[in-house]
Amino acid sequence: MASIMKQAINVSLNPNRSLGIDQAYLSIINKYKQNLTFYSIFSECRLCNGILTTNLSAESNKTLLVSTKYPLHMYYMTNLEWCHTTYAFKEHGSYGWNLSAEELCSNVYVINEPSNAYFPLLTALVILIMLIIVIQAGKVILKTIKDYFERNITYIDDDLTEGLQESESQIQVITNMVRLSTRIQSVDTFRGIAVLLMIFVNNGGGEYVFFNHSAWFGLTVADLVLPWFAWIMGLTIAISKRAELLNISRSKIILRNFTRSLILIVLGLMINSQKSKYIEDLRFPGVLQLLAISYFVCTMIETIFMKSDRQFERFFLLGDILENWIQWLIILTIVAAHTLITFLLPVADCPKGYLGPGGYDTFKKYTNCTGGAAGYIDRYVFGNHMYHQTQNPVYGVILRHDPEGIMNTLSAIFIVYLGIHAGKIILYHYYCNSMILRWLLCSLITGIIAGFLCNFSKEDGIIPLSKKMMTISFVLTTCSFAFLLFAILYYLIDYKKFWTGAPFIYAGTNSISLYIGHSVTMELFPWSWKENDPTHFTQLFINLWTTALWLLAAYLLYKKDIKITV
């Protein structure tokens, strides 16, 4: 019971102790002439009863240490009456709540004002903007000085000079066209955003809730990074496989893809082994394993069924779909199988189609149903070789469930293929306006379907949003944002050339290397270190420092034209 209480509302009888990250004090004054029972639970917890937090003696007061991560639902009970309220506590604040029969359900009041937990984030943002301004201004000044000293003062023949300038302009246009056709800058920029964001949130994200994965339902910034990485991987598959088919046999491509996937799986197991003392508890699933399997399945489908010539020129508007109807049929079959297993597979003592975490969820009715069918399959197949975490910050103790398990890997295949479709748009449509319009249309369609499935909320609808379960609504929502972001990047970088993609483009060219490197060095100095009394400021500094170091490494590799790949 003590561990459960710490998750919901940490109890402290020493009001002089220093407050940590996302903590505040609540002083409860019991003015009743009888004992009271006090309950609390995070409002984030879906359909949850309150947890017995403390007993209040008659006409006494008690100070509690409360978490400020989520609004807290609190209530107390007497023999004849009860009262409840929900309050969003702020970090390092001190609050009071008077309980009395004369003033039933009184409001929580502020004793000492809380600190601004988001000030470090705002400070970091201002510093970043200033750095960008200084760097850009420096580039302009250096370019102006260089142009001043290198400009030609004497012109021998105006006609000849104009002819040379025109030829140079044509050569430059041809060069730009070749560069664009061989490497799309927005692809590396998108991938760089995903991997740098992944490094930042994996290291803690400054200990901000929105930079950490959602407890079970909903969507945070951290929840976007893995789907985005898988999505952009799919986009590159579409382009690279079409090029490979011109020179390499299909069997050799499949063998090469299998080898690459196998290497990624081995690397993933090596990363997992850092947290396993014995082979008996080595986690088999993982991020690289999920990416490897979804990559191999999609590349094999594309390699087998992709056509080297176009069959549907007369249906140009739908050519990217009609020519690939077999691939779509296979992918939609996988999605249908995933849905049928989720909602029809019987799990002992659990309702069919359950997508919740178990634990406190649904008034503790399904405590042993964590993850529903997906969780059951993972526990049956992997046994002890899966994600070990069983303490959920909102839902308490739950059963083992792997966020990169078998069913979630099927969802990832769908994500990768939606990325492949984004790449097909590049292959089938020549005009930039046409490509951008289609990406925006895909963003709108996937977003609307996702909204319909989850009823435009995080935990309602037919299929609620859940990264832990990687539900179809979650897949479509994250891919909707991916289509939108890529359309914006392509417009700014490759079409209008307003931006080079720096600094994200540096990380995008060596994304897998950065991910593996950061996973190995996550707890090592100088990439990271521990603080005795961590705060949002210190943790944000450490996490940004880690990200900046890997960005510097990516920049040096980029300038040396070194690309480390699997």
Q: How far apart are the C-alpha atoms of 465 and 471, rounded to whole Å?
A: 6
Q: Is residue 64 helix, strand or coil?
A: strand
In single-letter form, the type of residue at position 390 comes to: T
At residue 103's C-alpha, the angle toward residues 97 and 107, to 5°, is 35
d(CA 557, CA 562): 5
Longest Cα separation, the chain: 104
Instruction: Measure CA 329 to chain center.
Output: 28
Amino acid letter, 144: T
Q: Which candidate, 56, 64, 54, places its Cα nearest to that of 30?
A: 56
Write out the E strands in 404-543. none
How buried is 128 (Cβ within 10 angstroms: 0-12 exposed, 13-18 middle, 19+ buried)? exposed
Cα distance between residue 514 and residue 529, in whole Å: 19
Q: Up-side HSE of residue 7: CA atoms within 13 Å toward CB?
A: 24
Instruction: Check if the beta carbon of residue 187 is closer than 8 Å to that of residue 236.
Output: yes
Q: Give the position of tokens 């107390």.
A: 76
Identity of the amino acid at 400: R
**DSSP for 329-363, written as a single string:** HHHHHHHHHHHHHHHHS--TTS-TT--S--TTHHH
For the annotated catalytic residues, the residue numbers are: 213
Alpha-carbon gap, residue 370 to 271, rounded angstroms:
26
